Structure 1
Amino acid sequence: MENSESAAQPPPAPKPSRRRNKRGEGGRLREDIVTAAAELLDEAGDEHAVTLRSVARRVGIAAPSIYPHFPDQPAIMLAVVQREFAALEQLLRSGLEQAGDDPRRRLRAVCDGYLDFARSHPERYRTMFGGVWIPALEGSSLTEEDMASLGSEAMELLAGALGECVAAGVAESDDVPADATALWVGLHGLAHQRAVSPSFRWPQDVADRIVTALAHLKDA
C-alpha cells in the first residue's frame, strides 16, 4: 500500500503536443522526424529503438502523423542513413577543395576525411557501414536501388582521387574502380578495428601504409 507522501505526488506531466505546422512547413516536420530517429539511434546504438511510436513520442506528434512523410520504419531509417552519407560526402568534398591540385594530397584528404568521419560519428558510421541496419526489403517500402545507391557519391570521390593519381603518374593502378573498392575496404577495416580495439597500439603510420599499398602509390 502506498504511503501518504507518495500518494500525494502528482503524475508526471505528458510531453506537450507539437505545434501544428503552418501550410508549407511539412518539410520541417519531415526533418524533425529524421533528427528524432537519429537521436534515438545514437542513444541506443540499435535500429530497433527507432519505431514509429518512439519517433512520434520524441517529436511530440501522433504516430499516424508520420505516414504522410514516411510509409514505414525502414523508410525513416533510409532517410537517416542518406543524410549521414550526404554529410560524409560534403566532408570529403571539403577536404578535396582544401588539398589543392596535388593528386597525392587530394587522395589522402579523401582517405583521412573518411577515417575522421568514422572516428567522430561512431554510431552513425556503424549504421552506415557496420551492419547495424540491414533492412529486409520484402514487406518494406525500400528497393534494391535504394540500398545500392547509398554511398555511391563517396565512392566516386575516392575513385576520382585515385584516378587523378594514376593520370599524374604517381600511382600504378591498372583498374581504378577495383583498386578504389579495395582501398575503401582497407579504410573501413581500419576504422572498424580502431573502434572495437581502442587499447591496441596502432602504428602512427598505419593509414599511410594502407593507402600507399592499396592505391599502388609510387615512392614520392
Structure 2
Amino acid sequence: MPTPATPAPPRTARTRNRRGEGGRLRDDIVAAAVELLEETGDESSVTLRSIARRAGVAAPSIYRHFPDQPSIMLAVVQQAFTMLEAELRGALNAARGDARGRLFAVCSAYLGFADKHPGRYRTMFGGVWMPDLGNSSLAEGDVSSLGSTSLALLVDALGDCVSAGCATSTDLAADAVALWLGLHGLAHQRSVTVAFPWPPDIAERLITALAHLNDA
C-alpha cells in the first residue's frame, strides 16, 4: 500500500455557482474525493467532512448533489470504470496485428491501469465503501452494472480470437470472466507483494491459459 502523503491544504473558499452551474459543484465534489483517495490510498479517509474541506465548500452543500458518502464513492468508481473502458478501447484500437495480439493489448492495458491508479483500482473492486443496499441511497442496479462495458470488450476480444482460430473457448462469457479474475488477481498481488520474484512472462502465461489460446 502506498505511504500516505502529507494532506494538501484545503482549497480556498469556493465562489458560489451562478444559476445553471450546479453541475460544476458536483464535479468538484467528485474531484475532491478522487484526490483524497489517490493521496491516501484509503477510502476511509474520504468522508463528507474531508471532501467538503478539500472542495472548499460547506458540508451541507454536498447534500444538494449527493445524499451520502457512498453515493459520492459510487460516482468516483463510475468515473474510474469510464477511464478503464477508454484505456482498454484505446489499446484495442491501437493494436496492430492479429486477434491474439489485440487480446494481449487489452489485457496489458488492464494491468497497466491497475498499476497507474492503485488507490482507485482497489476501490473499484474492494467494495469496502459499499453499505448494506437495503439501508443506503444506492440501488442494486447501480452496483451490478459497474464494469459491464469493460468486460464486454474482453468478451469481444476473446471472441475475435475464437473466430480467428487461435482460441478454443466454447463459452465466451464464462471464459472472459475467468480471464478477468486472473488479471485482477495478478494486479492485486503485484500491488501487495512487491518483493515477490514474479516470472517475467507471468502475464503471458496467465492470459494464454485462461483465454484457451493455441500455441503461438
TM-score by length of 2: 0.91
1:83 is matched by which residue type in structure 2? Q
- Equivalent-residue separation in structure 1 for 2:96 and 2:24 (angstroms): 37
Partner of 1:212: 208
Partner of 1:4: none
Partner of 2:153: 157
- Equivalent-residue separation in structure 2 for 1:15 and 1:46 (angstroms): 20
- Equivalent-residue separation in structure 2 for 1:100 and 1:148 (angstroms): 33
Partner of 1:77: 73
1:186 is matched by which residue type in structure 2? G
Q: CA deviation at 1:21?
A: 1.1
Q: CA deviation at 1:165?
A: 0.5
Partner of 2:111: 115
Task: Please tell me whether residue 106 in structure 1 is matched to residue 102 in structure 2.
Answer: yes
Within 5 Å, give how 1:1-220 maps onto structure 2.
Answer: 16-100=12-96, 102-220=98-216
CA distance 1:15–1:151, change in 2 (3 Å): closer
2:133 is matched by which residue type in structure 1? L
Coordinate RMSD, CA, aligned = 1.5
Q: CA deviation at 1:22?
A: 1.7
Which structure has more relative contact order (CA 8 Å, sep 6+)? It is 2
Q: CA deviation at 1:213?
A: 0.4
CA distance 1:185–1:16, change in 2 (3 Å): closer
Give per-residue Cα distances to partners, 1:105-128, cap 9 Å, x unaligned: 111111000000011111111111
Give per-residue Cα distances to partners, 1:32-89, cap 9 Å, x unaligned: 1001011112223222222222111111111111112111111100000000000000
Q: CA deviation at 1:180?
A: 0.4
Tell me if the contact between 1:56 and 1:62 (Cα under 8 Å) persists in the aligned partners: yes
Aligned length: 207
TM-score by length of 1: 0.90
- Equivalent-residue separation in structure 1 for 2:192 and 2:42 (angstroms): 16
2:140 is matched by which residue type in structure 1? E
The residue matched to 2:214 in structure 1 has which SS? coil
- Equivalent-residue separation in structure 2 for 1:68 and 1:132 (angstroms): 25
Tell me if the contact between 1:46 and 1:132 (Cα under 8 Å) persists in the aligned partners: no
Gaps of 5+ in 2: 1-9
Query: Percent identity between the aligned chains?
Result: 65
- Equivalent-residue separation in structure 2 for 1:193 and 1:102 (angstroms): 30
Gaps of 5+ in 1: 1-13
1:63 is matched by which residue type in structure 2? A
Tell me if the contact between 2:66 and 2:72 (Cα under 8 Å) persists in the aligned partners: yes
